[in-house]
Amino acid sequence: MADLRDLYQELILEHSRAPRNYRELKPADHSAEGYNPLCGDRFTVYLHMDGDLIRDITFQGSGCAISKASASMMTQMLKGKTRSDAEELFSRFHKVVTGQPPANGNKPDLGKLAVFSGVSEFPTRVKCATLAWHTLQAALEGKQDAVSTEE
């Protein structure tokens, strides 16, 4: 049986209660809205880019503890990183939350995001953990329509 404490780790609960970078970014040169129609989670991710560099990243919206903490920690990790850093981190994060073994057999370096490894035991919650990341991707690609977890 999966342990609830593996899913709801203290750091996740803490971020869900007090999300970081939780504000609209004005002016934002990129933003996108992400939506999970199954549970109603909805977030907007705002970016201020300098070329390929993420100068600032914030988010706003509503959702469960997993999706909110994931968004909060994502913004913390990516401030000052490049676009390709972000894409690579998402790819590693995605593997961990979906329970896929890392390509080289080594434990991927996720930093604090490792607290989300428990999500892989709860398949119905994977979309919660990845919603903000999909939204970020849409923002980077300049998509106009809201991204949905069901597409």
Partner 1 sequence: MSTVAGLPQTPRPAGLHKASAFDVQKVRADFPILRREVHGHPLVYLDNAATSQKPKAVIDAIVRYYEEDNANIHRGVHYLSERATRDFEDARKAVQLFLHAAHTSEIVFVRSATEAINLVAQTYGRVHVGADDEVLITAMEHHSNIVPWQLLCDQKRAKLRVAPINERGELILEEFERLLSPRTKIVAVSHVSNALGTVNPIAAIVKMAHARNIPVLIDGAQAVPRLAVNVQELDCDFYVFSGHKAYGPTGIGVLYGKSALLEAMPPYQGGGDMISSVTFAKTIYNKVPHKFEAGTPDMAGAVGLHAAIDYLHGLGMENIAAYEHELLTYATEAISALPGVRIIGTAKEKAGVLSFVVEGIHPHDIGTILDQEGIAIRAGHHCAQPVMEFFNVDATARASFGLYNTKEEIDALARGIEKVQEVFA
d(CA 132, CA 54): 16
Q: Which is nearer to partner 1, 78 or 133 (CB)?
A: 133
CB of 54 to partner 1, least distance (A): 27
SS3 5: helix
Residue 52: CB partners within 8 Å, gap ≥ 6? 82, 83, 84
Using the 8-state DSSP alphabet, how is residue 40 labeled? T
Judged by CB under 8 A, the chain residues 120 through 139 that form the site for partner 1 are 122, 124-125, 128
Whether cis (ω within 30° of 0) applies to the bond prior to 27 is: yes
CB of 6 to partner 1, least distance (A): 11
Q: Which is nearer to partner 1, 110 or 128 (CB)?
A: 128
Q: Which is nearer to partner 1, 18 or 53 (CB)?
A: 18
Please name the helix (run of DSSP H) or strand (run of DSSP E) that holds residue 140, with its range, or none: helix 126-141
Residue 7 within binding range of partner 1, rule CB under 8 A: yes
The residue ranges that bind partner 1 (CB under 8 A) are: 1-2, 4, 7-8, 13, 17, 38-42, 62-66, 68, 122, 124-125, 128
